[in-house]
Structure 1
């Protein structure tokens, strides 16, 4: 007999009043054919089977070059790990949490420190072994040991098997939005193995089985006949290659690629002119400038940091680079304009106010700041940074933003001034607010040695926020957290892009995802 959410929570011994809106009972309803509702195809679809999808990718994995083992999901060529692996959960195109390898999940009580997950039964790894809770425990412990994601390492205490298909997570502190951390592209489930072997063999539960990989260039994979999503995938072969923007458009024109992920916005018309169809997601990564404050640098003064922010003409970036005037701009937190909790700055661009702040800080004639290094994760990033540099000059701020190759960039940033590294610019992916704002308490680089009264107030309110059962109250608290950050400007966020992909007319149901790494290949087919 079916029971309601309220009845289920009462069976667990939970106080529904304490749990507020009861948003914690998670699961993905099944469609009539047994496929989860989130995986249902567009109405009227008649997918064809067979064919090969060959895509170019202009956004390489930032960790490429730090390992020779491209079979390891951390060093996968382009972050699109769901071609080979799956995580417990997945964030869909509307930012809703869906069950991938997990069938359901919920907290065991109103402390929000213990979470139970039910795994799907009958899921097979590429090597023919059934996935069980023992594999889940081994995978999560390996991710913790290898520091796969600070989003779980910060809060994790232990994970235990609950029977053959159950997992129980115990956290160090209450965390109302913990399940989102398990949807990350790195936190995949793999077969249990010895600590020195686990995660290294390219074996997963994904729609395609790895044939070969060069983690600095590309990979080839074939259809997984035993994929847990019934009848998927539709295509027989998948290949992906990391390329630059010009190679991408040339390869598309010549027929080498029938899809390209993360195209340069300025080349969209060229892809369309070559018969391509361009799909634009609702959002995408945003560009963040990290400013370590444990060094003897003038921006240790928060007035200078705010002056830098107020001097950057983000609307010029929107117009010149994206041909998208009036779109949202960064608010100097890691929050995305897609988040309903997004709190814009009172003013995003004010050169006069910036000059006044510089004068108050003792620099009435302008200031020279140390160089910032960046790697062009997206093809348009050099143009974004060039506009930022030129707009800073209008306020008398001289700052070089220097481009470096992706290969070895991460090591270069971190090799001095540990754990914060060199002043650098990077990208921040759009996530839920608990993860977005948690970066300022869990990510050394993005924290940038932020200390003081406001940093302490932020950390205190953040801990209270993620322990708050009421979603409505958390939204208000998230906005207050953003106001604290904006009052001290520990980092600069330039604004956000929109992920874009192009594909030939014969490719069907391939969509750009605002979380680039959450792109899927199990629901795509080829008609011609």
Structure 2
């Protein structure tokens, strides 16, 4: 980048000189512009000429002046600078420069953005290393399993780490992972897991039972609000390749609970200080994670077989949905998680879609004194919000009004959403204890959340209900003290590979929105239902119990369901092994390249 800085000095000093035409430039004057000695100025000019910035015509003989030709315009220099930043993996700086170019120079910014788009997709090196590169709108600095709460981070943990067991949607069963077998006593309170031999962490250490003990002690100690702390009484090695858990209550579903990402196994002694660079046993290892890029490379000794891809690069491009997608995807194997990009440029590729398991909802804080203790006011929200219009106006990946966390038939969703009756809603507001107080509506930072909150604020104003929107980082909104201050929270719950287990976690989590907003009566009812769930070995029976709980909360209007999302992934047809997981993402270990 030094060459660019030197050229910028020349360009600024000789701004009045014509482009691509020689002009007199004595070496002494040039040395002054470059703030260096005559000898160093000659070296700099030679370098700039070699790299195509200038032509330098040194004066030879008495009375002959040296002449200089500036070959790049300011626009061309900015384009070159953006490319160099990208090539050196300074993606954030490149994005800022291109954004500024688009505002100031229009076409130049679009050219730079188009060039960046061309860097995405499959890149095969001369050594035939397959690198998959794609954009994402934010970095992922927190990949410590003990603290992960967002779907993207949970998805990345699955690429770099393993749990003792894992759930297979295809087989609808818990499958071996770091443990190859497990068994329980008759009470379902003592569980023994038999560990694989010859499993290596990314740093070369051999996996042992001590790593399992360390992982669970760390999670339970670092997450004081974690409800599993009350369930797991003890975890100890039971031999060189066995681990034993003692539980405080019967839990036939215990193996299912261990599939969750926060129980991903870390090596003994990993303290989480480098939270963006965890060490795992998974198919990929992290080699870089900063504000510009997350880069993973294949784990050569992965116990389930080396991945086909050699490297994955997620470039942090905050406005990538606003950038033009290439007209033809066939030249590169692209992977896009943006519906905006898909709509503009993915016609040559394939598009996978699935209705997301989960829903966006509005939680009422019944644990806080105030007007929301009045059922009439809560039902005013229910009758006063037109879910169909919310989906239609906000669009994006919102596709269907919701009547519960698990998507049901369109008829059931339509019946719930069809309760919209603004006259009845306004009558209930007048009959309620609401006296015009400003209620605090919290959500966490994400564009779709902020759109939802703004829409709710505007619609409630029509009913005479005043809402103040408070947007916080998700880490702050995971604090029970902050959750307790909110009158309402609008958020989404994405059900993982096991919807029943995600819901159990949601209702029991010490940092969950609904769990913290329930009044003592509803909290006791939820706890009794969850305890019954844990005793059930069958997932369908657990889900039925959870749906009974959901119906009770709906009857008392403890929360309102708003809408469901559609997961969309676009990819080039040269990518094989593509399927969408519960998070709406791709499991990269299975991806391979045609040809």
Q: Which residue of 2 aligns with 1:182?
A: 258
Of 453, 467, 479 in structure 1, the residue corresponding to residue 535 of structure 2 is 467
Counterpart residue number, 1:359: 430
User: Which whole-Å CA distance do the structure 2 matches of 1:196 and 1:414 have between them?
Assistant: 19
Instruction: In structure 2, list runs of 5 or more residues that go unmatched.
Output: 1-127
Distance 1:324 1:414, change over 3 A: closer
The corresponding residue for 1:241 is 315
1:372 matched residue in structure 2: 441
Seen in structure 2, the aligned counterparts of structure 1 residues 381 and 419 have a Cα distance that, compared at 3 Å, is closer
**How many angstroms does 1:318 deviate by?**
3.7
1 or 2 for the larger relative contact order (CA 8 Å, sep ≥6)? 1
Asked if structure 1 preserves the Cα contact closer than 8 Å seen for 2:500 and 2:539, the reply is no
Does 1:57 pair with 2:136? yes
The gaps in structure 1 that reach 5 residues or longer are 1-48
The change in CA–CA distance for 1:229 and 1:380 in structure 2 (over 3 A counts) is: same
Query: Which among 196, 210, 213 is matched to residue 120 of structure 1?
Result: 196
Is the CA contact (8 Å cut-off) linking 1:82 and 1:521 kept in structure 2? Answer: no
CA deviation map 1:387-439 (0-9, x unaligned)? 444444454434344555xxx4422x467945635453333121432441452
3-state SS, counterpart of residue 121 of structure 1: coil
Residue 427 (1) aligns with residue 500 (2): no
Quick check: 2:166–2:174 contact (8 Å CA) kept in 1? yes
Measure the CA separation in 2 of the matches of 1:253 and 1:101.
44
Deviations 1:316-374 (A, max 9, x none): 3444445889845143xxx3227x9xx979733332443343233245xx955423232
TM-aligned CA deviation for residue 272 of structure 1? 1.9
| Count of paired positions | 456
Cα RMSD, aligned residues only: 3.8
Match of 2:575 among 493, 500, 507: 507
Tell me if the contact between 2:325 and 2:344 (Cα under 8 Å) persists in the aligned partners: no
Please give the alpha-carbon distance, in whole angstroms, between the structure 2 residues aligned to 1:148 and 1:52: 40
Contact 1:83 1:521 in 2 (8 A): yes
Check conservation: 1:509, 1:524, Cα contact below 8 A.
yes
Q: In the TM superposition, what whole-angstrom CA distance separates every residue of 1:30-50 from its partner, at most 9, and x where no partner exists? A: xxxxxxxxxxxxxxxxxxx84
**Counterpart contact for 2:350–2:571, Cα < 8 Å:** yes
Question: Matches of 1:468 and 1:73 in 2, distance apart?
Answer: 26
If you compute each CA radius of gyration, which structure gives the higher value, 1 or 2? 2
Give the conservation status (yes or no) of the 8 Å contact 1:87–1:101: yes
Aligned CA distance change for structure 1 residues 58 and 368 (closer, same or farther; 3 Å): farther
Greater helix proportion: 2
Distance 1:515 1:403, change over 3 A: same
C-alpha separation between the residues in 2 aligned to 1:376 and 1:276?
A: 32
- Name the residue aligned to 1:213: 289
User: Map of 1:128-139 to 2, 5 A cutoff?
Assistant: 128-139=204-215
Query: Under a length normalisation based on structure 1, what TM-score does the superposition of the two structures give?
Result: 0.74
Please say if 1:524 is aligned against 2:591: yes
Does the alignment pair 1:106 with 2:183? yes
Match of 1:33 in 2: none
2:375 aligned with 1:306: no
Cα pair 1:208 1:223 within 8 Å, conserved:
yes
Q: d(CA) in 2 for partners of 1:394 and 1:136?
A: 55
